[in-house]
Chains A and B, each alone.
Chain A
Amino acid sequence: MSMPFYVAPEQVMKDRADYARKGIARGRSLAAAAYAGGILICAENPSTTLRKVSEIYDRIAFAGVGKYNEFDQLRIAGVRHADLKGYSFSREDVEARSLANQYAQILGQIFTHEMKPLEVEILVAEVGATTEGDQLFYIQYDGTVMDKSNFLALGGEAEAITERLGETWQPGMGLDGVMQVVVKALGGPERALEPGDLEVAVLDRGAARRCFRRLDDDEVARLLAG
């Protein structure tokens, strides 16, 4: 008679976490930072068609790192959640906080109950009417949520990037300034990233309704040159 092996719950969780972390660390990182006119989201992504950063709603953007199909499915669910909520309530009632909580619920649920955790980390950003209203939510593979209002990084090298941003990021920077520090932080001391390696978008505080805007390579190059 075969006996099922006893595996301590701590071990199960640890194995799953290691698995998810390994998957996430395989991809490139991304960073988001607030500036005077909104929020900049910058991902290291040589593809121009498979997006890591995208629009959710008028003032809300989404970014994901890790396994593309998994975070893209979450992105679409987020667009659906936001559009349905805006349709049945009002556009003003759609907010990043509730969406971040929904993501956390789903990721937490899958992490504890499914065989395989999702190998993703997610950013939900909302640009406020003023800099004080800016919100950045960081949701991890196990459903842990953190919120920041200045900057944060996602992905395998998140810690190092956050540290570098901590040294260089200043409140009230312009778009060119913040772009330079974010790209420098993403690349680290050894690598200099080119506009072609990056996927860049902003949530522009001043826009009439839909604040999300992608920046093309020329614009990125211009901003990096100062």
Chain B
Amino acid sequence: MNLPLYPPGDDPGPDFVALVRRAGLAPPVPAAPVDQQLQITHGTTVVAIRFADGVVMAGDRRATSGNFISHRAIEKVFPADRHSGVAIAGAAGPAMEMVKLFQLQLEHYEKVEGAEISLEGKANQLGGMVRDHLPAAMQGLAVVPLFAGFDLRRGAGRLFQYDVTGGRYEESNFSATGSGSLHASTVVKLGFREGLARGEAIDLALRALWEAADEDSATGGPDAIRGIYPVIATITAEGFTRVDDSEISERFQAIIGALAAREAEGAGRIPETSSDLGGGPR
């Protein structure tokens, strides 16, 4: 590998994506629809919720290829840098690649320029990456991320959602993406209020993922037997911190306890959907 030196008029600057392209390392865009010939692995539901000290990001752990569960423990929530995180849904392979490139883009800029990009700038960078990915999305490899961070200049948590064309939309309170996002965001919408405490925001995210997993087969629930729990991270003035699995396990036990108690009250109505066709003497 050579030392990449460029003449002053032809320098890619602090842009790592441009550098990757110049080095000939950018992936080719598929010429035909990929998802009709091959089973593409998909990652699904992720949510982000603003709370008093910043933002909570959470994602389930399931990856599916059609009907198959191709992975039980993939991660969809990643640190982007010290004060921001990115969560992904969509075709898992290109999504992971996008996260890797995005992380490097931020770090590369910081090292070359000697200064961090603003949070707004980071959100725009990710939007550009999603937009550049559109040709691949058209062939069935869509990637839709969430971006959240603590804006050190404003002193507040902020979150952004995207569409496949790279459209960037700042959300004020919460956002979700992926196949279970409809269910997840309904739960968050009902449970959200201004100034949630850290624990409340984590519980709300867990509950949202639980309900999404309950309704959407591509979203994975907590797996107590294998000890696989959603990845949850908080992003505050102190930075991106992943919540410990033991804490998530405890919080899940509490949620499950509450849900089980509720079910017990209505005992005797199982099967949930009865009909005249089955059971009973004729």
Contacts and interface: CB of A to CB of B under 8 A. Distances in A.
Interface string B224-260: 0000000000000000000000000000000000000
B20 interface: yes
A79 B108 contact: yes
B114 A83 contact: no
Given A87-B20, A87-B25, A87-B104, A81 B111 contact: no
B222 to A, nearest CB: 27
Which of B3, B23, B107, B108 gathers most chain A CB within 10 Å? Answer: B3
A79 B3 contact: no
A78 B108 CA distance: 11
Contact of B112 (A79, A81, A86, A102): A79
Contacts of B16: 83, 87
B5 A106 contact: yes
A103 B3 CA distance: 8
B3 to A, nearest CB: 4
Interface stretch (A13-21, A50-58, A125-133, A177-185): A50-58
Nearest to B19: A80
A176 B234 CA distance: 35
Interface string B96-110: 000011001001100
A139 B107 CA distance: 26
Residues of B contacting A: mostly: helix
A77 B5 contact: yes
Contacts of B31: none
A158 B113 CA distance: 28
Nearest to A101: B3
Contact of B3 (A51, A77, A87): A77
Contacts of B5: 73, 77, 106
A55 B112 CA distance: 9
Kindly state the interface size class of chain A when it binds its partner: 20 to 34
A76 interface: yes
B267 interface: no
Nearest to A62: B111
B111 to A, nearest CB: 5
Interface in A69-102: 73, 76-81, 83-88, 98, 102
Nearest to A98: B1
Given A87-B20, A87-B25, A87-B100, A80 B114 contact: no
Given A51-B114, A54-B114, A83 B3 contact: no
Contacts of B23: 84
A103 B25 CA distance: 22
Contacts of A86: 104
Contact of A81 (B3, B25, B104, B107): B3
Nearest to A78: B3
B20 A84 contact: yes
Nearest to A212: B111
Residues of A contacting B: mostly: helix
B1 A55 contact: no
A8 B191 CA distance: 84
B25 A105 contact: no
A106 B6 CA distance: 13
Contacts of A81: 1-4
Nearest to A49: B114
A54 B104 CA distance: 17
Contacts of B112: 76, 79-80
A81 B114 CA distance: 17
Nearest to B8: A73
Contact of B25 (A55, A76, A84): A84
Nearest to B5: A77
Contacts of A103: 3
Contact of A56 (B4, B25, B111, B114): B111
Given A54-B114, A77-B5, A86-B104, 15 more contacts: A54-B111, A55-B111, A79-B108, A80-B3, A80-B4, A80-B19, A81-B1, A81-B3, A87-B20, A87-B100, A87-B101, A87-B104, A102-B3, A103-B3, A105-B3
Interface of B: 1-5, 16, 19-20, 23, 25, 100-101, 104, 107-108, 111-112, 114
11 contacts: A73-B5, A76-B112, A78-B3, A80-B3, A81-B1, A83-B107, A84-B1, A84-B19, A86-B104, A87-B16, A105-B3
The 4 A-B residue pairs whose C-beta atoms are closest, nearest first, are A102-B3, A80-B4, A79-B111, A77-B3
